[in-house]
Amino acid sequence: MDNRATTERTPACNSTYPKGGVSCFSDTFVVAESSVLRMKFSGKNPALRVAAKRYQQYSMTKILKYIIFLFPILVFGQYPFEKFKSPKISSLEFKMTEKENRLNYSKVVKSFFKDKSDLEVTINGNTQNSKETYIEVKTKLKSNKYFEEIPAQGTDGFYIADFNGDGKKDFKIVCFYMGSGLASMNVRVIYFFQKENKDFTKISFDDKMEGNRIERDLNGDGNFEIITLNLQEYKNHNYWLFNLYNFVNGDLVCVNNKMNYPIMIQFLFKENYNVTKKLKRMEMKKYELKKPKELLIDN
C-alpha cells in the first residue's frame, strides 16, 4: 500500500530570554512509521541571536544523530508477490472532453498492432446514467462497442502490455468508483486481450486498488498472474485476501493451487506486508475466490 504521511504536533518548552522573546517549538513528523524531529526558531533582538544560534547548533546535532539512528528502519516493504517479474508496461493518458452530461476519454495508440497500424480507444461516459457508458475500440477496418457500467469521472489508468505472454499487445483500463475511506479503493478493472485478426476478448471485474496493481509471473511460465484484493473477515479481524488468475483460452482461470495461494495479510492501522500466522495456508484456501467479483467476459 502507499505510504501515507501524518503529522503530530507536540509543543516544546519555550526557550525564554530576558529580552527579545526568542522561542522555539518542535514538530514531530511520522513518515513511513518513523519519527523525524524538526526544530524552528524565531528571534527579533539582534543582541540575543548568538544564544539562539548556539541552541540551534546543539539541536541540529541532536537531529542528525536522531536521523542516523532511525535510518536503518526507513525501508520500503513489499508484498510477497512483488518480488516476481512484471510485464513491460506502457502507461498512457486519455484525452478528456466534456459536453453537457457526456464525459469522453479517448486515446490513439500509434503502431499498436504487429503491422504497425493504430488502435483507438474511447470511453463514452454519461455522468447522469452510468448504464449508458460503453467503451469503443477502433482499428483500421472495424469498430466494436463494449458495455461497461462504470463511473464516468473515475477513469484513472490506461496500460498496455502483453499480459498473457502470447506475443500480442493487450490493454487494461482502471476506473475508480470515487468512494471515501476504504471504499475509495473500489475499482472496475477492464482487460482487453488481443486475439487474431485484431479482435479482443474483454474481461472485467470489481477489485480494490490504491493505484495500478502490477501483474506478476510467479511460476515463470510467461503468462502473468492477475492479482486481486478483497477484504476478508476472520475471527473478528479483517484481512487482505489476495487471489491469482491467468487469462487462458478466453477465460479467467484461478491458479491459486499452483502457487499455494490465496494469502491473507492482516489489515492494521500501519504498513503490513507479512502473510499472517494466525491461520495456516490450508485454512486460507477456504476463502479462495474461483472467480473475481462481478466478472464479465465478452468474447
Name the nearest CA neighbour of 292 among 237, 234, 247, 236: 247
Contact between residue 264 and residue 234 where contact means Cβ atoms under 8 Å apart: yes
What is the C-alpha separation between 168 and 290, in angstroms, rounded? Answer: 26
What is the distance between the alpha carbons of residues 218 and 85, in angstroms, rounded to a whole number? 7
Phi, psi of 214 (to 5 degrees): -80, 140
- pLDDT at position 11: 42
Give the whole-angstrom CA distance, residue 262 versus residue 252.
16
Q: Is 199 exposed, middle or buried (0-12, 13-18, 19+ CB in 10 A)?
A: middle
On the CB side of 170, CA atoms within 13 Å amount to 24
Grid cell locating 127:
455522468
| Per-position b or e across 133-168, b if 16+ CB within 10 A of its CB | bbbebbbeeeeeeeebebbbebbebbbbbbbbeeeb
> Alpha carbon of 15 to those of 19, 104, 248: distances in Å?
12, 59, 69
- Close Cβ partners of 180 (under 8 Å, ≥ 6 residues apart): none
Tens digit of each residue's pLDDT, the chain (299 residues): 444 444 443 444 443 333 444 444 344 434 333 333 333 333 334 343 333 443 444 455 555 555 545 544 444 689 999 999 999 999 999 999 988 888 899 999 999 999 999 999 999 988 888 888 999 999 999 999 999 988 767 787 899 999 999 999 999 999 998 788 889 999 999 999 999 999 999 999 999 998 899 999 999 999 999 999 999 999 999 999 999 999 999 999 999 999 999 999 999 989 999 999 999 999 999 999 999 999 999 99
- Sign of the dihedral through C-alpha 220, 253, 197, 175: negative
Give CA–CA dist 232/106, Å, rounded: 36
**Does residue 238 sit in helix, strand or coil?**
strand
In whole angstroms, what is the distance from residue 206 CA to residue 71 CA? Answer: 39
Radius of gyration of the chain (CA): 26
Task: Quote the pTM value.
Answer: 0.74
Q: How many CB atoms lie within 10 A of CB 205?
A: 21
Task: Answer yes or no: are the C-beta atoms of 147 and 202 closer than 8 Å.
Answer: no
Residues 6+ apart with CB under 8 A from 48: 17, 19, 20, 22
Local structure of residue 36 (DSSP, 8 states): E
C-beta neighbour count of 194 within 10 angstroms: 22
H or E segment to which residue 69 belongs: helix 49-70
What is the structure's pLDDT at 211? 85
